[in-house]
Homo-oligomer: A and B are copies of this chain.
Amino acid sequence: MPHAVVRVNRRTLSRERRRQQLIEATIKCISKKGLSSVTLSDVAREAGLSQGLVNLHFNSKENLLAETLKSLAEDYDAQFMAIMQRTPDDPAGTLLALMEMDLKPPICDRSKLAVWFAFWGEVKAVPTYQKICAARDQKYEEILLELVAALVREGSYPNVDVETVAEALSSLTDGMWLSCLVNPKTFSRTKALAGVKSYLRAVFPDHYA
């Protein structure tokens, strides 16, 4: 039955595209109006589609929001892994590239950050969000840990605690995201990146001098 297969493929494809379109509309709406006042009408209007469509594709608002967060996390992961694969044998370069990724568009973009923070703000109250965010954080953390460990193996850093530095590095970028969101006027990507670099230089002089 070749026809059946083709049919299923086409349908799931278009289905997937509609879902993505709705998710993108949701992101825009959250960024514009805030998570607590976004309505399904807003999302439908933003997408140029009808009221009922969201429930047709996502069954509920709750589910739409969870899928939106998943989509954000997958986007981040994709970019992250792309950089990881670029220079597999250069931990110092990879680490710097990852930090730069975090501090440049499309990751470090006020609209997208607003959506991340919106979900973080509900993490304690909504277990679904907590799981998705925790999973992302832990994966990120483990990879940073390995990179930092590699640097420690390569250079001579007797006083560096690997776990502490990895944790500090990810906190540093997270905190800069908050600056970008709250103080867009004052915030400067260049200064932020300079801050990260100065930290790397201070901790790993052999690699980043």
Residues of A within 8 A of B (CB): 31-37, 110-111, 114, 117-126, 130, 133-134, 137-138, 141, 160-161, 163-165, 167-168, 170-176, 178-179, 181-183, 186, 191-192, 194-196, 198-199, 202-203
Contacts and interface: CB of A to CB of B under 8 A. Distances in A.
A39 to B, nearest CB: 11
Contact of A175 (B163, B175, B203): B175
B178 A174 contact: yes
A36 to B, nearest CB: 4
A194 B203 CA distance: 14
A181 B114 contact: no
Nearest to A186: B138
Nearest to A32: B125
Closest 10 A/B residue pairs (Cβ) = A171-B175, A34-B125, A121-B121, A174-B175, A36-B36, A202-B202, A175-B175, A118-B121, A168-B195, A114-B124
A16 to B, nearest CB: 27
A172 B171 CA distance: 5
Given A175-B174, A182-B137, A194 B35 contact: no
